[in-house]
């Protein structure tokens, strides 16, 4: 298999949905492009083409090899499960359930990303996703005034992150219980903004910083 033609090289790279999913899965597994290409029995230049060009249209055979190399499914690579909750498959063979240590929980939390915040409201408990970062051993996120996450300060909250691997019916979850407080110091808020790993996906003006100080952190893993 060959990569893009000489004429394609002069085009501006623009990754499509398939390319972004391939790259994200590869990075999540800690694989280089060369390692992934070797697993999928293709040239690294062709894999680069798939990752970087929106018009790349590999056949089913290529997708099957990529899915196997990346320990996922063709449907996941093509985005067919985008609107489905994770974990619809069957349990794996001889699953092993283990409790995670505090250090393991901290390592998984510090990968950052999107977590689920549980807060109490006058209408009962609510759970909402937030983009978060771990800074100084605490969980920080920003939100908008009046949004559900802004109700967290001054109350005990729960915060959960997880990763589900549908292809192998395995995954992990980490649960944090702690006290949420509003960051009112301007200098501290500026420091958090500088160290934050991502911006809120919801967009808009979200300049209200909240910090969760954990008092209990637990986790579990299901492996096959």
Q: What is the pLDDT of residues 152-185, one digit of tens each?
A: 999 999 999 998 877 677 889 999 999 999 999 9
Q: Computed from CA positions of residues 13, 17, 21, 22, in that sequence, does the dihedral angle turn out positive or negative?
A: negative
Helix intervals (H) in the chain: 6-9, 17-28, 33-40, 44-52, 60-69, 74-78, 102-109, 186-195
CA end-to-end span of the chain: 34
The model's pTM = 0.67
Name residue, tokens 């290409």: 37
Class of domain 96-223: mainly beta
Which residues contact residue 49 at a Cβ distance below 8 angstroms, ignoring those fewer than 6 apart? 3, 4, 8, 56
Residue-level pLDDT at 200: 85
Q: Give yes or no on whether 6-78 and 96-223 have one common fold.
A: no
Please give the structure tokens belonging to residue 43.
Answer: 């040239």
Domain boundaries, the chain: 6-78, 96-223
| Token pair recorded at residue 104 | 């393991």
6-78 CATH: 1.10.260.40
pLDDT, tens only, 86-105: 666 666 677 888 999 999 99
Q: Is the pLDDT score of 12 beyond 80?
A: no
Q: Each residue of 35-88: pLDDT tens digit?
A: 999 999 999 999 999 999 888 889 999 999 999 999 888 888 888 766 666 666
The burial of 151, by beta-carbon neighbours within 10 Å (0-12 exposed, 13-18 middle, 19 or more buried), is given as buried
Q: Are 149 and 128 in contact (CB under 8 A)?
A: yes
Cα separation of 220 and 171, whole Å?
9
Residue 149 is classified by DSSP as G
Q: What is the mean pLDDT of residues 29-39?
A: 93
d(CA 37, CA 23): 12
CA distances from 24 to 17, 29, 145, 202 (A): 11, 9, 32, 20
Q: State how far the Cα of 198 lies from the Cα of 106, in Å rounded to an integer.
A: 19
């Amino acid at each position: 298999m060959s990569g893009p033609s000489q004429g394609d090289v002069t085009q501006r790279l623009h990754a499509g949905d398939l390319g972004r999913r391939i790259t994200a899965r590869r990075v999540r597994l800690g694989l280089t492009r060369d390692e992934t290409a070797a697993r999928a029995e293709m040239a690294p230049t062709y894999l680069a083409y798939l990752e970087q060009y929106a018009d790349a249209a590999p056949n089913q055979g290529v997708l099957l090899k990529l899915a196997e190399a990346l320990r996922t499914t063709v449907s996941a690579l093509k985005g067919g499960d985008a609107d489905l909750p994770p974990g619809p498959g069957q349990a794996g063979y001889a699953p092993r359930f283990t409790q995670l240590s505090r250090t393991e929980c901290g390592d998984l939390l510090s990968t950052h990303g999107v977590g689920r915040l549980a807060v109490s409201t006058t209408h009962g408990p609510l759970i909402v996703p937030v983009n978060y970062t771990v800074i100084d051993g605490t969980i920080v996120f920003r939100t908008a005034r009046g949004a559900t996450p802004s109700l967290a300060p001054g109350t005990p909250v729960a915060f959960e992150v997880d990763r589900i691997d549908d292809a192998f019916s395995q995954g992990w979850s980490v649960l944090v219980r702690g006290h949420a407080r509003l960051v009112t110091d301007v200098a501290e808020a500026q420091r958090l903004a500088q160290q934050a790993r991502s911006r809120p996906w919801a967009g808009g003006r979200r300049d209200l910083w909240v910090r969760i100080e954990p008092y209990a952190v637990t986790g579990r893993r299901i492996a096959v």
